[in-house]
């Protein structure tokens, strides 16, 4: 099919995977699984508008997530330096090496290393994959002019709410997690799921399905988990505070014994305690 996920990815030479603002672990896991799956066949990159937090460090390849939307152009910027001190900039090529020479005005100093900042801009990707999200506000990158004319597809457990002039091909459908959808799409591409991809998908499915207690968990979810475990995928480890549980070789601390209190000799009860008691009150209906 012309508009199948497989045909769109196979026909593209470069792919950019976009994560939403403040993504969940499930969304990052799904995006990284897709990135790891296609990076050997395509010019692939993965980007997120917000920084990765510590909780994502367990995912394989999280260091590949960048804030840059694209790397088509290199941008060299001089920071904390007065550009008026530069007389001119020249460049020349010797062999395969490019030399750029910054020539300052007479009496002025040339920029120092700490004044040079290198970044990248421009999107060269032919196809963009949006992972998760609810509406366009989760993808501020869509407002960039660099994305004009680029094919944009979306995967998620719900469709994106879009403005009327936005055209995005959606592969959203109900599932236990975005990672479960990503696994199905990777298998559709005919790409072998290795240990790293399986680990990311397994962590994503477990987190996205609320430890397999979500309403969209099905038999297919558990079948996928079994396949990922066979591929060597590692489950999400829950950290336990060891201080709460003493070692079996170490006896738990005992509470100090209370101080001994000398018992008093028993006293004879008052005489009226041994007489019959008469209680007065209202009747209970």
Say which CATH number the domain at 157 has. Answer: 3.90.1640.10
> Residue 244: inside a domain, yes or no?
no
- pLDDT score, position 109: 86
Residues 16 and 43 reside in one and the same domain: yes
> Residue 215: inside a domain, yes or no?
yes
- pLDDT score, position 88: 85
- pLDDT score, position 33: 98
Residues 129 and 54 reside in one and the same domain: yes
- pLDDT score, position 84: 85
> Residue 29: inside a domain, yes or no?
yes
Residues 85 and 158 reside in one and the same domain: no
Dump the DSSP string for the chain.
-TTSHHHHHHT-SEEEEEPPSS--HHHHHHHHHHHHHHTTTSEEEEE-SSPPPGGGGGSTTGGGEES-S--SEEEEEE-SS-GGGEEEEEEEEETTEEEEEEEEPTTPPPPPGGGEEEEEE----SEEEEES-SBGGG-GGGG-GGGTT-EEEEESSS--B--TT---EE-----S-HHHHHHHHHHHTT----HHHHHHHHHHHHHHTTTTTSTT--HHHHHHHHHHHHTTPPPPPPP--GGGS--TTSPPPPPPPPPP-PPPPPPPPPGGGGS----------
Residues 130 and 142 reside in one and the same domain: yes
Residues 107 and 141 reside in one and the same domain: no
Residues 45 and 146 reside in one and the same domain: yes
Residues 86 and 115 reside in one and the same domain: yes
Residues 26 and 66 reside in one and the same domain: yes
Ranges of the chain with pLDDT below 70: 1-2, 70-73, 119-124, 237-285
> Residue 138: inside a domain, yes or no?
yes
- Host domain of residue 203: 5-72+122-230
- Please write the tens of the pLDDT for every residue from 124-139: 678 999 999 999 899 9
> Residue 174: inside a domain, yes or no?
yes
> Residue 272: inside a domain, yes or no?
no
What is the domain count for the chain?
2
Residues 13 and 80 reside in one and the same domain: no
Q: Which of 57, 86, 121 is the last residue of a domain?
A: 121
Residues 147 and 212 reside in one and the same domain: yes
Q: Which of 206, 230, 254 is the last residue of a domain?
A: 230
Residues 95 and 65 reside in one and the same domain: no
Residues 78 and 206 reside in one and the same domain: no
- pLDDT score, position 275: 54
> Residue 113: inside a domain, yes or no?
yes
Q: Which of 121, 142, 161 is the last residue of a domain?
A: 121
């Amino acid at each position: 099919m012309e508009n199948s996920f497989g045909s769109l990815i196979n026909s593209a030479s470069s792919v950019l995977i976009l994560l939403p603002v403040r993504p969940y672990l499930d969304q990052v896991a799904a995006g990284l699984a897709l990135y790891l799956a296609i990076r050997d066949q395509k010019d692939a990159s993965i980007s997120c508008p917000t920084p990765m937090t510590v909780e994502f460090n367990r995912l394989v390849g999280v260091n590949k997530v960048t804030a840059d939307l694209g790397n088509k152009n290199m941008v060299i910027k001089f920071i904390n330096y007065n550009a008026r001190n530069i007389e001119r900039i020249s460049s020349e090529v010797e062999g395969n090496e490019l030399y750029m020479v910054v020539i300052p005005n007479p009496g002025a100093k040339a920029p120092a290393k700490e004044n040079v900042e290198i970044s990248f801009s421009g999107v060269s990707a032919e196809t963009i994959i949006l992972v998760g999200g609810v509406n366009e506000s989760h993808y501020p990158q869509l407002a960039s002019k660099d994305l004009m004319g680029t094919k944009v597809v979306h995967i998620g457990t719900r469709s994106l709410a879009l403005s009327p002039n936005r055209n995005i091909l959606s592969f959203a459908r109900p599932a236990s997690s975005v990672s479960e959808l990503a696994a199905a799409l990777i298998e559709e591409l005919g790409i072998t799921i290795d240990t790293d991809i399986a680990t990311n998908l397994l962590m994503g499915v477990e987190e996205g399905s609320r430890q397999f207690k979500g309403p969209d968990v099905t038999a297919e979810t558990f079948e996928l988990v079994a396949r990922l475990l066979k591929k060597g995928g590692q489950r999400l480890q829950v950290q336990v505070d060891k201080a709460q549980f003493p070692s079996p070789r170490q006896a738990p601390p005992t509470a100090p014994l209370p101080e001994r209190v000398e018992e008093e000799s028993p006293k004879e009860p008052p005489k009226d305690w041994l007489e019959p008691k008469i209680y007065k009150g209202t009747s209970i209906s």
